Amino acid sequence: MARYGLAWREQRRFCVSTLRNLRLGKKLLEQWVTKEAACLCLSFDDYDGHPFRPNELLDKAASNVIATLSCGHRFEYDDPRFLRLLDLAQEGLKEGSGFLPQVLNAIPVLLRIPWLAGKVLCSQKAFLAQLDELLNEHRMTWDPAQPPRSLTDAFLAEMEKAKENPESSFNDENLRMVVADLFLAGMVSTSITLAWGLLLMILHPDVQRRVQQEIDDVIGQARPPEMGDQTRMPYTTAVIHEVQHFGDIVPMNMPHMTSRDIEVQGFLIPKVGLGPSSSSSAPAPGGCPSVATARWAQSGNPGPPVFNATTLTV
Ligand code: HEM
């Protein structure tokens, strides 16, 4: 369970502003995504129109963007080190949602039992060791005089600035934890959303045709897409939102709790035990409801969500 103290706030602020800087200016993030999308399309082409399961390739593409933004390294899809990193990340995610880690998360004092501490999260530890290798290679080539190439470069600059400050949260341990968080939180969420997008376009060829038409009209076939195109693509944007709404890939969201009773716009949110807070279309059974949950409840919608292609008129 995250403690939203000073270190958390410092790290969060750093991540948000670094990701923003990589997105603006030279638009590095956009270039990395576009390049990866081109590699992904080439891998799809390898199947030459035959049916295939895209999930593994989607995992690789999403992870490669995160690897580039965090460690300045893009992998070939068949690189054995990359395949091991992805395997360990997948295993680590499964492992983290197991019964024992959940108990230890709720009662961290149990981790003081040495035997127990050694038993849990073996894949996550192996994943972190693999990540350390990558981070060490990257930091060997860091040149503080140059603009940051990645989140790690920006982090190293903060570590340098905070050398004399013992209170600072910019240290080696937090560097690996921030990069690990980006990998674990970003990889599966992005690739599963993309997989939902592909499936829904197959199931709704009429919607697919209209999206393709808008792409052809606005972007054409001669150049890659840019973020700037989005404002001129309202139909495609609406379809992406509907895919995310329908896919609902984190239905219970993360568990949240308030540290004290708090009033927000006249509503009392009491300090309650741990409970899920849903940002999804499904109602949350407990914890702090989100805006989306409240909207769902107000709509009186009784059934599961539908991919509502008919409302996608703009
Ligand atoms: C379609 C893609 C994605 C979906 C659906 C998604 C969904 C979510 C959700 C539901 C949360 C929990 C928010 C909460 O606590 O209320 C979350 C948090 C987070 N996500 Fe994502 N995410 C996606 C992509 C990414 C990517 C690409 C990254 C990183 C490269 C990322 C990094 C994070 C991090 C670090 C957090 C924790 C934020 C915090 O506690 O402040 N996510 N995401």
Q: Rounded to the nearest whole angstrom, what is the distance from the C-alpha of residue 185 to the centroid of ligand 1?
A: 6
Query: What CATH fold (topology level) applies to the domain 6-203?
Result: Cytochrome p450 (1.10.630)
Tell me if 40 sits within 8 A of 61, measured CB to CB: yes
In this structure, which residue's CA is closest to atom 15 in ligand 1? 254
- First and final CA of the chain: distance in angstroms? 42
Q: Which of 49-58, 185-194, 251-260 has the lowest mean pLDDT?
A: 251-260
Span 269-283, pLDDT tens digits: 888 755 555 444 443
Query: What is the residue-averaged pLDDT of the chain?
Result: 86
The atom of ligand 1 lying closest to the CA of 249 is: 5
Tell me if 189 sits within 8 A of 249, measured CB to CB: yes
Span 39-74, pLDDT tens digits: 999 999 999 999 999 999 999 999 999 999 999 999
Average pLDDT over residues 242-260: 84
In this structure, which residue's CA is closest to atom 1 in ligand 1? 190
Residues 39, 203: Cα–Cα separation, whole Å: 25
Residues 225, 218: Cα–Cα separation, whole Å: 9
Ligand 1 pocket list (CB less than 6 A): 12, 66, 181-182, 185-186, 189-190, 193, 249-250, 253-254, 279
Q: Rounded to the nearest whole angstrom, what is the distance from the C-alpha of residue 143 to the centroid of ligand 1?
A: 30
The atom of ligand 1 lying closest to the CA of 181 is: 35
String of DSSP letters for the chain:
----SHHHHHHHHHHHHHHHHHHSTTTHHHHHHHHHHHHHHHHHHTTTT-----HHHHHHHHHHHHHHHHHS----TT-HHHHHHHHHHHHHHHHHTSHHHHHHHH-GGGGGSHHHHHHS-HHHHHHHHHHHHHHHHHHHT--TTSPPSSHHHHHHHHHHHTTT-TT---SHHHHHHHHHHHHHHHHHHHHHHHHHHHHHHHH-HHHHHHHHHHHHHHT-SSS---GGGGGG-HHHHHHHHHHHHHH-SSTT--EE--SS-EEETTEEE---SSEE---SSSPPSSS---HHHHHHHHTT--S-----GGG---
Span 120-176, pLDDT tens digits: 778 888 999 999 999 999 999 999 999 999 999 999 999 999 998 988 999 999 999
In this structure, which residue's CA is closest to atom 4 in ligand 1? 189
User: What pLDDT is stored for residue 275 in this prediction?
Assistant: 55
User: What pLDDT is stored for residue 97 in this prediction?
Assistant: 75
In this structure, which residue's CA is closest to atom 31 in ligand 1? 186
Domain boundaries, the chain: 6-203, 204-250, 254-302
The atom of ligand 1 lying closest to the CA of 69 is: 30
User: How does residue 103 score in pLDDT terms, banded at 50, 70 and 90?
Assistant: confident
Residues 255, 115: Cα–Cα separation, whole Å: 27
User: What pLDDT is stored for residue 274 in this prediction?
Assistant: 57
DSSP strands (E only) in the chain: 255-256, 262-264, 267-269, 275-276
Does the pLDDT value for residue 27 go beyond 90? no
Predicted TM-score (pTM) of this structure? 0.84
Tell me if 152 sits within 8 A of 71, measured CB to CB: yes
In this structure, which residue's CA is closest to atom 26 in ligand 1? 186
